[in-house]
A and B are shown apart, each in its own frame.
Chain A
Amino acid sequence: MSRRYYIDFERPVVEMEDQLEELKKLPEAHKPDIIKEIKFLEDQITKLKKRVYKNLTAWQQVQMSRHPDRPDFVRYLDLIFDDFIELHGDRTYGDDLAVIGGLAKLGEQNIVVVGQEKGKDTHDRLRRNFGMPHPEGYRKAIRLFKLAGKFNLPLITIIDTPGAFAGVGAEERGQAQVIAKCLSTLSSLPTPTIAVNIGEGGSGGALAFGVCDRVFMLENAYYSVITPEGCAAILWQDKEKAPEAAEALALTAKKLLKMGIVDGVIKEPLGGAHRDPKSTAGKIGEILKKTLGDLLSKPVDELVALRYERVRQFGVFSDRQESEIIT
C-alpha cells in the first residue's frame, strides 16, 4: 500500500491501518478466523483513534491544521458551492493566486465567496505561495468584498493562511496598508458576511478575511496573533519550542469558542477533515445555509451595527482604580 503522510503522533494508528489493509488483501480473507481477526483489528483501530485524536494538544492541532492531505479551499469550493465563476485580479498590479474569489451559489442563494488557497500538491502550492497572500491578493479581496456590498450579495470568506507573505515586494506594495483596508472595509460592508477558518488562521493576514457577522472554525483549525514558531523564536530564540508556544497562545478552536472569539466550532471526522472531506464539507455547508438564513432575516443596517458591536466587545481589561496584576 502506498505510504500516506502522517504526523508523528499518528504513527500507531497508521501502522495498524496498514496491517488491516494487508489482512484484507490476503487470499484467505474470507475465512472465518481471518474475518474474526479483521473485526478485532477494526475495533482496536477505533479505540486507538479515539485515544489518539480525542485529546490533541494545541501543537498537535496546529500540525493537523497543516496536514498535507487536509482539504484546501478549492476542494470545499467544489463540494459546498455551485456555479462558481472565478474573478481575477486587483486592477492595480496583478492576480495573486493565494487568494481565490468569485460568484457562486450556496443552494439557491447567489453569493460572493473569497478564500485563501494553499494549493493541493507541491506544484500548486508553489504557484499559490503556500497560501501566503501578497498585497495584490488582499486588494483583489477588497474589490470582491465591495462587489458583494454593492449588489447585496452575502459574502462568505474562507480563512486558511500561515500569514500574509513577509517579503520585500510585499512590503513595498503596502502589505500593512491593504490588511488594514480589509479590516475597515469588512467592518462596514452593507451585506451579510460569514467567515470560516478551515485550517490556519495566522495573524493579521488571516484576520483580514475575518471581520464578519459570524465566524466559524473547523475543530482542528487554529487562529492566533502569531504562529507558534514565530512566538517561540521571539520568546526563546528557538523554533523547536513551538509546542510550548502553541499551548501558551490559546489558539485552538475550543479555547477560542470559550473566549467568544468564534461563534461555532465545526466538528471534523476522527483523525481530521482529510479522512472524510465530503462529510466535513457537508457540515460546513449546513452551517453556512442556516447562518445565512438567520442573517438574511435582518435589515442590513442592523447587521452592520451588530457586526460593529461584535468586534467592539473584544478585549479583557480592568477598569477598577486598583491594578489586579501588581504583585
Chain B
Amino acid sequence: MPFTDWLKNRTQKTQEAANKRAVPDGIWSKCTICGKTIFQKDILNNFHVCPECGHHFGLSGHERVMMLLDDGSFSATEEDLWPKDPLGFIGSKPYRQSLNNAIETTGRREAVTTGFGRIKGNKVGFGVLDFRFIAGSMGSVVGEKIARLFEAATSERLPVITVVSSGGARMQEGVLSLMQMAKTAATVEQHNQAGLPYISILANPTTGGVLASFASLGDIIIAEPKALIGFAGPRVIEQTLDEKLPKGFQTSESVLNHGMVDMIVPRDELRETVGRLISGLSPVSSDQNLGDQVV
C-alpha cells in the first residue's frame, strides 16, 4: 500500500483521538497549507518540505547551514553582537520584551547568522535570516552582521550567499533600522565593485526593507517555490487600492514571470544549484575547486 494511502487510513483511525487532544509534538505535524497530518520525520527527511503539497516550511539559521553548506565546514562570525533598545520603544508591548521572548524561543541572540563555509567545495561567506526571530526583521545587529559579512568577503575575495526570510526593517529601532538598508546596500556595492559574486536566495516570506536593500542586489537571485516576495505586504496594497489582488500575486512564480528573479529552485536542489552557479561565475575552474568537488 502506498504511503499516502496508509497515511489516510491511519489518519482516519486516529481522527477521534486527534480531535480530543493536540497533535503530539515530535511525531505528527499538520501542514499549515494543505492541512494534512503528516509523519514529522517525513517532513524532516524531505528538507522540511511537505511531501503532500510541496509547502516549504520555515527554517532556522542552523537548519539552513546544515542544508546548504558542506558538512562541518561552517564557522560562525560576530557571535558576540547583541541587540539593544535604542529608542526605549514601547508599542503594544515593550521592544525589550519582544527581544527577550525571541531570544528565549529561538536560543539565538538575533535574527541573523553569518559566517564562512563551503558549498560543494567552494569557500563562501554565508548569511541567513531566521523568520522566527521577530519576523526576521532587520535592526542594527542584522544590518551590522550582514555589513561585516560583505566586508570580510570582499577583503578575502570570496563569494557571498544569503538566504533571506524577513518581514522587512525592524520598526522598533525606528530610523536606525531604515539606515541598515543603506548600510547593507553600500557593503554589497563594494563587494560588487570588487568583481565578486553574490547569490541571494529568497525564502517565504521576503518583504519590505530587506527585499528593498541587500536581498535584491544579488548577481543572481533565487526564490524558493511559492514564497511571498514583495515590497509592500499584500494587506497594505489591498487597503491602498481597495480591491482584491490578482491570483498568485507576489508569489515566486509571479515575480519570476515579471523578471525579478533568475530562477525558482526547490529546496532539495538548492545546494547543487548554488554550487554550480558559483563555479559557473568563475572565469576558470580553479584546481582547488575541482579538487574539492572530486572529494
Contact = CB atoms under 8 A, between A and B. Distances in A.
Contacts of B99: 325
B193 interface: yes
A57 interface: no
Interface string B76-110: 00001111111101111000110110010000010
B209 interface: yes
Chain B contact patch, size range: 35 or more
A261 B96 CA distance: 23
B212 A179 contact: yes
Given A175-B212, A225-B169, A316-B140, A166 B240 contact: yes
Contact of B84 (A164, A168, A226, A317): A317
Nearest to A312: B183
Given A173-B258, A175-B231, A211 B109 contact: no
B230 interface: yes
B182 A248 contact: no
Interface in A157-213: 164-168, 170-177, 179-181, 183-184, 187-188, 203-204, 207, 210-211
A225 B177 contact: yes
B183 A177 contact: no
A224 interface: yes
Contacts of A308: 186, 190
A207 B140 contact: no
A245 B213 CA distance: 24
A250 B240 CA distance: 25
* Residue of A180, A181, A259, A327 ringed by the most chain B CB atoms within 10 A: A180
Given A183-B185, A235-B92, A325-B100, A319 B232 contact: no
A261 B178 CA distance: 10
Contacts, number: 205
A171 B250 contact: yes
Nearest to B240: A166
Contacts of A176: 211-212, 216, 230-231
Nearest to B232: A166
B265 interface: no
* Residue of A179, A184, A211 ringed by the most chain B CB atoms within 10 A: A184
Interface residues of A, number: 58
A274 B245 CA distance: 39
Contact of A184 (B103, B169, B188, B237): B188
Interface string A286-327: 000000000000000000000010011011111111011111
Interface string A226-249: 100011001110000000010011
B42 interface: no
A11 to B, nearest CB: 30
A141 interface: no
Interface stretch (B63-71, B141-149, B271-279): B141-149
Interface in A241-265: 245, 248-251, 256, 259, 261
B175 A204 contact: no
Given A166-B231, A204-B178, A327-B96, A174 B84 contact: no
Given A171-B231, A261-B175, A236 B92 contact: yes
Interface string B163-189: 000000111011111111111011111
Nearest to A166: B232
B286 to A, nearest CB: 28
Contact of A211 (B90, B174, B185, B214): B185
Nearest to B254: A172
Interface in B205-257: 208-209, 211-217, 230-232, 236-237, 240-241, 245-246, 249-250, 254
B179 A315 contact: yes
B17 interface: no
A211 B186 contact: yes
Contacts of B181: 180, 183, 204, 207
A223 interface: yes
B190 A179 contact: no
A173 B254 CA distance: 11
A176 B188 CA distance: 16
B289 interface: no
A80 to B, nearest CB: 25
B216 A177 contact: yes
A171 B103 contact: no
B188 A317 contact: no
B116 to A, nearest CB: 19
A167 to B, nearest CB: 6
A316 B178 contact: no
B230 A251 contact: no
Contacts of B109: 323
A183 B184 CA distance: 9
Interface in B49-68: none
Ordered nearest first, which 10 A-B pairs have the shortest CB separation?
A166-B232, A315-B140, A183-B185, A314-B179, A187-B186, A316-B86, A235-B91, A180-B216, A176-B231, A184-B189
Given A183-B186, A184-B192, A249-B171, 8 more contacts: A177-B212, A184-B185, A236-B92, A250-B174, A311-B183, A314-B182, A315-B180, A316-B140
Interface of B: 80-87, 89-92, 96-97, 99-100, 103, 109, 140-141, 143-144, 147, 169-171, 173-183, 185-190, 192-193, 208-209, 211-217, 230-232, 236-237, 240-241, 245-246, 249-250, 254, 258-260
